[in-house]
A and B are shown apart, each in its own frame.
Chain A
Amino acid sequence: MKTSKALYLEVGGIVAAVAAALVCGFIVILLTSSEPFAAIGSFLIDPLSNPFNIGTILNKAVPLILTGLSMSVVFQSGVFSMGAEGQLYVGAFVGSLAAVYLPGLNPWIHLPLVLVCAILGGALFAAIPGLMKAYLNANEIVTTLMLNFVAILTTSYLVNNPFKSPDGGGYARMELIGKDILLGKFIPGMPVHAGFLIALAAVAAVFVLMYKTPLGYELRLVGKNGQFARYGGIATRKIVVLTIMISGALAGLAGIVEILGIHQTYKDNFSAGLGFDGIIIALLARNHPIGVLISALLYAYIQVGAQTMQAGSDMPREVAVIIQVMLVLLVTAQAIFAYIRQRYAHSGTKAVK
């Protein structure tokens, strides 16, 4: 099989899964709504009907793109980190500290510094489960899920106590971040913030890293066939630590971009599952960065569609949850098929070309 043919099959399968998930959502609407076609119409069309809604889709897609990239990098290396949520909080917190407590810097220096702090925060926090897996053989699923609690609860404590702004009213948040380093809007009449450009740059960077550099070759090889990588002399332990750190860096970037673009300060519990959404995005994208971009936009579109449907009909926005869950089920089922194909492809007969 040629790679291009494999790609068409893969894309076809994913498109079918997405269509099937949408159909499931529509069936629920048909069965429960008194005006199903108006509901479906406002779900599908309203998100694209005005620049405000389009901008909202793009804004919602920004953190999803970044966490989706974060997960796709570790998944491609065969490491099943579930830690993007915790890394996102740590990165956002460290970045916000740099944003709030280093005032008076030139914004052209300050903003990159804030981003770098968030990236380093996420990467270093991710290094913990990476080192534990590589050198102590600790299961990364367990360690990353546990460390998520450590990250979320520790940052929550800190923003509720020493770093809490007295002006926050009832909310636990830091002091507001200076306007000069917030990610502003860059298209007149559309609410999309400059974080979208950062997300696009990250897609390009991850694509180049994974497919055009020696390191990407090693990362993918370790994920595809660890035994072959060891035979080839690739330092698989180092690669495991490195891949999870790159993933943490992207998660940290997702956190700080969400803070600088939407919240304008570090707020307690601001993410509410963006890191876990990244897992779904990466699965849907088959870990390809371009796929991540498309999947994140689709995911954001479904979320905005649910809101417009709630406003324009008698259906609640929770229908979007049904569609998302169906998407997860169908896409993971597909992943199982792909795994089985890969597993048993070479035990059957092979064509001599």
Chain B
Amino acid sequence: MEISNRVTVLRAGKSIATLLTKETNREEISRLMVGRDVLFRVDKRPAEPGETVLSVRGLRAADDKGSPALKGVSFEIRAGEVLGIAGVEGNGQTELVETLTGLRKADSGEIRYLGGDLIGRSVAQIRRMQIGHVPEDRQTSGACLTSTIAENLILDHYRNPDFRWGPFLHKKKIKKFAQTMMATFDVRAQSEETLAGALSGGNLQKVVVARELSKNPKLLIASQPTRGVDIGAIEFIHREVIKRRDAGAAVLVVSAELSEVMALSDRIAVFYNGEIAAVLDNTPDLTEQEIGYYMLGIKKQGQEAAAQ
């Protein structure tokens, strides 16, 4: 604002608008940056939050280059509510999810899940604790494209005695499980033996969501759950997330799409520069513009409010 004559706003790889700096203001630019995508209506009852499932206190972690990415993040999620994380990408959301799921080491802070401590636990241990994780990149982390759908679905179950026959994998039970999951989650493919890489983005994401929900999670962490997915699949996945909330799970949704965060969340935590700039109740009078101010660091809630 101080040094430019003109300002071009880029969003999701597209040039959205070019404005003369002297004719515009911070509010207009932030509105353009946040965008006004079609808001998907998700039918949901008001949340009925229960006991605290996940409690994060003063969490600090570094990014891959070693510079601090999380600078003392604190929040809580209770059973039966969806906490959305809004924020411009690269403000620590990825690192938060990786730290919660054991993929990244925390430098300090506390992560308590149903009374137990998650810090220092391995990915395998955390996955066994009924914590579902839909990762942000389904093609690299979320699925193995050169494996079959069935092999992708049994990631949490192949060591389960129910799917074993002595020391061997029980092929029939795996097949039946995969077919049931594909029917329940509307995965459209020729068979469970189809390679995951042959699926469309939406169908592949439904495989990932099916797998993560198949362990009946008490905590579901969904990162960019509908990125690059067709509208039908978006609606389906949103419904499943809300269904899981109504069944009493705590849900953490991280999305670069503000409209998605606003459609799904009961409360919204806004990330800016590795900190939570605000925690807002997702009431009907909350506007995208209001969230946008926090996303861009124009406004910041008081520290005591952020830790509520």
Contacts and interface: CB of A to CB of B under 8 A. Distances in A.
Report whether chain A binds chain B.
yes
Interface of A: 1-4, 6, 208, 212-214, 217, 220-221, 224-225, 227-228, 230-235, 342, 345-346, 350-353
Interface of B: 101-103, 122-128, 133, 135, 139-148, 151, 154-156, 158-159, 164, 167-169, 171, 188-191, 193-195, 197-203
30 contacts: A1-B194, A1-B197, A2-B194, A2-B195, A3-B148, A4-B193, A208-B168, A212-B169, A214-B159, A214-B164, A214-B169, A221-B147, A221-B151, A224-B146, A225-B140, A225-B146, A227-B141, A228-B144, A230-B123, A231-B123, A231-B133, A233-B102, A233-B125, A234-B124, A235-B124, A342-B146, A345-B145, A350-B200, A351-B200, A352-B188
Given A1-B195, A235-B124, A350-B200, 13 more contacts: A2-B198, A3-B194, A6-B195, A214-B159, A217-B154, A217-B158, A221-B151, A224-B146, A227-B141, A228-B140, A228-B144, A346-B145, A351-B198
Nearest to A347: B139
A232 to B, nearest CB: 4
B141 A233 contact: no
Contacts of B103: 230-231
A235 B159 CA distance: 13
A225 B195 CA distance: 14
A341 to B, nearest CB: 10
Given A2-B193, A214-B164, A233-B126, A352 B200 contact: yes
A9 to B, nearest CB: 12
Contact of A1 (B102, B151, B198): B198
Nearest to A218: B158
B155 A346 contact: no
Contacts of B142: 228, 231
Nearest to B135: A231
Contacts of B147: 220-221, 224-225
B198 A350 contact: yes
B158 A227 contact: no
A6 B190 CA distance: 14
A6 B198 CA distance: 11
Given A2-B194, A353-B189, A227 B151 contact: no
A211 B181 CA distance: 22
A217 B151 contact: yes
B274 to A, nearest CB: 23
Nearest to A1: B198
Contacts of A234: 124
Contact of A213 (B125, B167, B189, B194): B167
Contact of A227 (B133, B140, B148, B156): B140
B129 to A, nearest CB: 11
Nearest to A6: B195
Q: Which of A208, A224, A352 has the most CB of B within 10 A?
A: A352
